[in-house]
Structure 1
Amino acid sequence: MNDSKNLILAIGLSALILFGWPYIQEALFPSPPAPPQVAQNTQGVQQPTAGGQTGAVTPGVDDGVPTGAADMAAPVLDSVTREQALEQAPRIAIETPRLTGSINLRGARVDDLTLKGYRQTIDEDSALIDLLEPSGSPKPYLVQFGWVPAEGLEVPNGDTLWTADGETLTPDTPVTLSWTNDAGVTFEQVFSIDRNYMVTVTQRLTNGTDTALAPQTFGRIFRSGVPKLENFYILHEGLIGVFDGVLEERDYDEMADKANGTERFTTTGGWMGITDKYWLVALVPDQANAVQATFRRTPRTAEGQYHVNFVNDPQSVAPGTSAETTGRFFAGAKETTLLDKYGEDLGITNFDLAVDFGWFYFLTKPIFYAIHWLHGILGNFGLAILALTVAIKLAFFPLANKSYKSMSKMKLLQPKIVEMRERLGDDKQKLQQEMMELYKKEKVNPLSGCLPILVQIPVFFALYKVLFVTIEMRHAPFYGWIEDLSAPDPLGLLTGFGLIDWQVPAWLILFNIGLWPIIMGFTMWFQQKLNPPPADPIQQRIFGLMPIFFTFILGGFPAGLVIYWAWNNSLSILQQYVIMRRMGVAIGGGRIEDSDKKSEESKPAETKADGKKDAAKKASGKKAEGKKAGGKKAAGKKAKGKKAEAEAPEPVTSEEVDTGDAVSGDSTGGDGKADETKSS
């Protein structure tokens, strides 16, 4: 008994530490305040100029990729606001059905992009998602294309002021930026954008000198600091790329451990960028070109600065001729269908891997597309999840049906197993031996009940991934109080399911479970009642605690996942109950008729006496009918002689009448033979 208590206590404490430690740690050991940022030394930073850059690699160059003074400088204590930073340089507007923003003509940076279709919260008045941030703001985040500095060639850098041939970049109106150096070499960048999130940049160099040139073009992403992270092991956030078909992922912390904070790759085609949970900024070089790619972290701020870039091979440009390269960048929401379309139309290798579908990719992605298709029919992702659950149940019905039949047989054997336990006592070895012999004799597999669970586990994790990482599930409503299937149930137990206006402290969050997790826990408990209990009493107690355990654990999971589990349990209960009724299995074990007999025995004494009187009356009535039939058939009986005597059953005794067990004439063949024998 003590061992069982200790085991249960150990499981409870382990669960509390595993899932509640982050809240306990924050309550007992709050995070120290961020160190103050060093004020910018404006005297030590070169002021922006309209000029270019010459040479191979300088302190302002990352692997030959030039950076601007605004990127190199540490942020000041009183950083300017986003709006103030946008006013510091001339800009070209960006306007599409899904994006709004601008291009900074100082350095030809795309450092201002806002997603029109996505907001910070489910509140209709909440702010839109700002994806890219301008130079000079607290945490700049930008994309830039350009030329690598070369000996004898002055190229534009991050501080060059470009001229534009238009005022607004739209899907119908490309914009060309141009700059000419003192030697007569003209650099042009033609920006075009589609109606979603892909920007195409064509870089053109016209050689106005009398010597051949060998320029190299580049694309880069720069991000200062680390965004607010989910910090969940099943989700990658940070630097990402596909190089020669292989996915490479590096967390922000991982880059700090790299030698010089740098990692290099060589690839033909592919893509590289920085990913958040729902958003992606990625460079897409010409898929036919071999490029050198780099991940880098520089410790110029407390949180670090992160660079992702690629460099094309040199091109030979004769005097009086031009050369151009084309690259792209994606900046937007990681919509799975859109990424797949880009991958197919533009030939971008494994572009869909930007969505972290995880180890069960082969299962997760089909589940996503199934839900997406059902959503197109039903108009609600919650209903789509319920419909998919029914489809999965139907697909695995033969397997589950076989399993539930086996469990029903186990329930029939439950009385015999109970008798074994009482007879053998603490002799567990003998008990296990006799139980195995019984299972073998009755052709029952005690492990068959695990099959539905084993089938459900990969589906569960795949659906969890879909709900957790796909942008389509973000802010997707269900019915009632569920306004976001990707977030936990908002109605908490400690707030009276929304009736009490109280901010639950962090250390109590684990106990503030919602209504749907409670419903799920109840269905799990009820389903357990349909299954045969384990033979070991300790295991019985552990299994009894599982519904409570999972209720608290799933309290912090996405509501869509909890709804799926509750619905799946409900379907399993219905299926198992129907099978048990067909096989005559009672809920508590044994056969239904045995259960009815027990309920008859448990009736009060008066009820039993009335039952006996009714049985006696019925038996007397049968006797009278038998006598009448005997008088009419006397002649027939004499003719039959010994044969009639041999076929006549034992006469009904008074003891049988008293116990109410007298059989009717129908049970003896319907010809009244038993009564005839008595009358004679």
Structure 2
Amino acid sequence: MGFLGTLGSLIMTPLYYAISFVLILWHRLFTLLGLPPDSGAAWALSIIGLTLVIRAALIPLFVRQIKASRNMQLIQPKVKELQKKYGHDRERLAQETMKLYKESGTNPFASCLPILLQMPIFFALFRLLDQAAKNGTAHGVLTEELADSFGNAELFGKVPLSGTFLNADGNVALQVTAAFLVLAMTATTFLTQRQLMSKNMPADALSGPYAQQQKLLLYVLPIVFAVGGIAFPIGVLLYWTTSNLWTMGQQFYVIRNNPAPGTPAFAAKEARDRAKAAKHGHPETPAVEAPGTDPVDPAGPAVDRRPPQRQQPKKQTRSQRKKGAGGQPRPTNRPTNPTDPIEGENA
């Protein structure tokens, strides 16, 4: 075994144990719920459960990905300024761009972390299923009996989880299922990226190099998955399609509830918040509207449309409070002449 083989074994062996352990736990759960242990349904649902566990563990990385993607969008105007200023000097432009990334706390590679970390897991599951089907080889905590059951499990009694579109051998049910999952994997990949670009990217970020990179990924990634997907086993296609659906739902939640400023999603959230406040009887009126946002005259200047504030009464001194409404002193039983005795007092 060469150096690359040893390195691959060091990386894949821990993944075999982790994946097979989670897979067996889900398989035992579905078996306890009444599914036959050798059925394709039990193992297919176990793969879906494995996917959910992995994606839940990757949530912290997804949060970093969202922050990195948002920072990349927000600094695009500054990146454009650097390109105009140092466009003639690529080395200086690269230095200033990296300096800008460092000052803004942006890591341009953080947005790729979730998908990069999923690739070894993807290949580990691929080999786990492939080796179990072809040789009955047990990896990780799989026993030979479980490996044989996993490798020979069939959905609907006709679609082996280890089967691929290319190696269907005339199995029409396998080809239809594989084609459906490949299309689902491709569509979810495209829609997830499209959702990010159409709703959570400011207008300034749609014309810069970062936007061009996103547009490239928008069309290239689905093609890569569509071409490669016909060689993936059904079990692996289940994993990747489920992972894409998780990403789509997770991204939809983040875009809806915490959108980037200056994006269509941000404007939609503000509209929902205003409608919600009005529904509960607390309409929100901006203190001073920005130029061009006056509902009466959109082209006019900023207008303060707050309701008039009620004037608070001024504080009065003690002598003022003793005076009557007409400004006259209040009547008293004290005599005018200060030397005269007060009524009721002894002389």
With the shorter chain as reference, the TM-score category is: 0.5 to 0.7
> Structure 1 residues 596 and 453, CA, compared in 2 at 3 Å: closer, same or farther?
closer
Counterpart code for 1:544: Y
Aligned counterpart for 2:119 among listed residues 446, 457, 466: 457
Q: CA deviation at 1:535?
A: 3.3
1:369 aligns with 2:21: yes
Please state whether the residue corresponding to 1:658 is helix, strand or coil: coil
Opposite residue 522 of structure 1, the aligned amino acid is A
Aligned to 1:411: 73
Partner residue, 2:246: 571
In the TM superposition, what are the counterparts of 1:427-506 in structure 2 within 5 Å?
427=88, 429=90, 432-470=94-132, 471-478=148-155, 483-489=159-165
Cα displacement string for residues 263-310 of structure 1 (whole angstroms, at most 9, x for unaligned residues): xxxxxxxxxxxxxxxxxxxxxxxxxxxxxxxxxxxxxxxxxxxxxxxx
1:540 CA displacement: 4.9
Q: What is the alpha-carbon distance in structure 1 between the residues aligned to residue 109 and residue 238 of structure 2?
A: 27
Residue 526 of structure 1 and its aligned partner are, at CA, apart by: 2.5
State TM-score, norm by structure 2.
Answer: 0.56
Is residue 185 of structure 2 the alignment partner of residue 547 of structure 1? no
Q: 2: CA distance between counterparts of 1:424 and 1:360?
A: 47
Task: For 2:218 and 2:74, locate their aligned partners in 1 and report how far apart those are by CA, in whole Å.
Answer: 20
- 1:384 maps to 2:36: no
Counterpart among 523, 528, 542 of residue 188 in structure 2: 523
Task: Give 1:544 deviation, angstroms.
Answer: 2.8
Kindly indicate whether the alpha-carbon contact (under 8 Å) linking 2:83 and 2:93 is maintained by their aligned counterparts in 1. no
CA distance change for structure 1 residues 377 and 433 in 2, over 3 Å: closer, same or farther? same
Name the structure where helix makes up a greater proportion of residues: 2
2:78 and 2:250 map into 1 onto residues whose CA distance is 25
Q: 1:491 to 1:458 in 2, by over 3 A?
A: closer
Residue type of the alignment partner of 1:521: T
Instruction: Describe how 1:224-623 pairs up with structure 2 within 5 A.
Output: 360-378=12-30, 379=35, 380-414=42-76, 416=77, 419-420=80-81, 423=84, 427=88, 429=90, 432-470=94-132, 471-478=148-155, 483-489=159-165, 514-529=179-194, 530=196, 535=210, 537=212, 540-541=215-216, 544-585=219-260, 590=263, 592-593=265-266
Give 2:181's aligned amino acid.
W
Cα-Cα RMSD:
4.4
CA separation of 1:482/1:664 partners in 2, compared to 1, >3 Å: closer, same or farther?
A: farther
Q: Which runs of 5+ in 1 are unaligned?
A: 1-246, 248-356, 500-508, 598-621, 623-648, 674-680
Cα distance in 1 for residues equivalent to 2:267 and 2:241: 32
Amino acid at match of 2:22: A
Structure with greater strand share of residues: 1
Which amino acid in 2 is paired with 1:483? V
Structure 2 CA distance for partners of 1:656 and 1:536, relative to 1, 3 Å: closer
Q: CA deviation at 1:478?
A: 3.8
Contact 2:68/2:110, CA 8 A, preserved across alignment:
yes
Deviation (angstroms), 1:460: 0.9
| Distance in 2, Cα, partners of 1:488 & 1:464 | 11
Give the counterpart letter for 1:517 in structure 2. V
Equivalent position SS for 1:535: helix
Q: In the TM superposition, what whole-angstrom CA distance separates every residue of 1:197-251 from its partner, at most 9, and x where no partner exists?
A: xxxxxxxxxxxxxxxxxxxxxxxxxxxxxxxxxxxxxxxxxxxxxxxxxx9xxxx
- 1:38-71 Cα offsets, whole Å, 9 max, x none, are xxxxxxxxxxxxxxxxxxxxxxxxxxxxxxxxxx
Aligned 8 A contact 1:382 1:485 in 2: yes
Give the paired residue count.
244
Higher relative contact order (CA 8 A, sep 6+): 2
Query: How far did residue 484 of structure 1 move?
Result: 1.2
Q: Measure the CA separation in 1 of the matches of 2:88 and 2:269.
A: 32
Structure-2 separation of matches of 1:540 and 1:424:
25
Alignment CA distance shift 1:658-1:419 (3 Å): farther
TM-score by length of 1: 0.31
SS state at 2:259 partner: coil
Shift of 1:550: 1.8
Query: In structure 2, do the counterparts of structure 1 residues 402 and 528 end up closer, same or farther at CA, with 3 Å as the change threshold?
Result: same
Secondary structure in 1 matching 2:210: coil
TM superposition shift of 1:358 = 9.2
Larger radius of gyration: 1
2:297 corresponds to which of 658, 662, 674: 658
Report how far residue 473 of structure 1 moved. Answer: 2.4
Shift of 1:464: 0.8
Instruction: For residues 83-134 of structure 1, give each alpha carbon's deviation from its aligned partner in whole angstroms, at most 9, with x where no partner exists.
Output: xxxxxxxxxxxxxxxxxxxxxxxxxxxxxxxxxxxxxxxxxxxxxxxxxxxx
The one-letter amino acid paired with 1:445 is N
- Matched to 2:55, the amino acid is K
Question: Helix, strand or coil: the match of 1:671?
Answer: coil
